[in-house]
Amino acid sequence: MHVILASASPRRREILARLLPAFTVEAARCDEHAEGIGSPARLVETLASRKAEDVFSRNPEAAVLAADTVVWFEGAALGKPADAAAAARTLRRLSGRRHAVYTGWCLLSPQGVCRGVCRTDVTFKPLSDAFIAAYVASGAPLDKAGSYGIQDEPSPVAGYSGSYTNVVELPEEEIAQALKEIGILQ
C-alpha cells in the first residue's frame, strides 16, 4: 500500500525514511488553529487527525500519516518563533527548566485508523546569553516548536524522559507499531 506523509517537515521525513524505503509527501492544507481545544494531548491529536483527514480525502486508497507537535510549558503551547528575538525569549524562559513535548499522530488507511499521543519530558541546561545568541544566530531554532531541536549540536537539552524521536517530531516506535498493525511493516 502506498504511504503518504502529510507533512513538509524534513525531520519527520527523515524518521519515516528509517522505517519505510518508499513514501511520498503531501503537506496538508487545513486549518491548524486550535484555540479552545484544551489539553496538549487533545490539541495535538486533533490537529494530526485534521491533517490526515485532509490528505486522505484526496488519496483514499493510500495510508496517510500526519503528526502535530507542541512544546508545552507553564500551561501553554510554545510554537515556532516568529523571529530571532522571539526564539531568544523562548530559550531564556526554558533555560534550566523542564517542559513537555507532545506529538499527536494519525494514520488513516482503507483498513481503518490508528492514532496516538506521545509525551516526552525534557530538561534544559542552564543557557548562557552567549549560548543563546550563538544558537539563534545559527538559524537552528527558527523553524522548530519551542525554538530548539534536541538533535541540534550543541544541544540546549540536559536530559529527557520518554521518546527521543518524539522530541524530534515523530515518535518512531509508535509509528512503527501502527504501520505493523495495518500490514505495511512486518
pLDDT of residue 35: 64
Closest CA to 4 of 67, 64, 53, 68: 64
Q: Is the dihedral of CA 39, 44, 47, 53 positive or negative?
A: negative
CA distances from 77 to 71, 136, 137 (A): 6, 20, 23
pLDDT of residue 41: 95
**Domains of the chain, start order:** 3-181 (3.90.950.10)
Three-state DSSP string of the chain = CCEEECCCCHHHHHHHHHHCCCCEECCCCCCCCCCCCCCHHHHHHHHHHHHHHHHHHHCCCCEEEEEEEEEEECCEEECCCCCHHHHHHHHHHHCCCEEEEEEEEEEEECCEEEEEEEEEEEEECCCCHHHHHHHHHCCHHHHCHHHCCCCCCCCCEEEEECCHHHHHCCCHHHHHHHHHHCCCCC
Catalytically active residues are 68
Please give the Cα distance from 141 to 93 (Å, whole number). Answer: 14
| pLDDT, tens only, 127-150 | 999 999 999 999 999 989 999 999
| pLDDT, tens only, 37-66 | 779 999 999 999 999 999 999 999 999 999
Query: What band does 180 get if pLDDT is binned at 50, 70 and 90?
Result: very high
State the average pLDDT over residues 85-101: 98
Q: Determine how β-strand 3-5 pairs with β-strand 63-73.
A: parallel
pTM to 2 decimal places: 0.93
Query: What band does 36 get if pLDDT is binned at 50, 70 and 90?
Result: low
Q: How many CA atoms lie within 13 A of 35 on its CB side?
A: 0
| pLDDT, tens only, 12-22 | 999 999 999 99
pLDDT of residue 34: 64
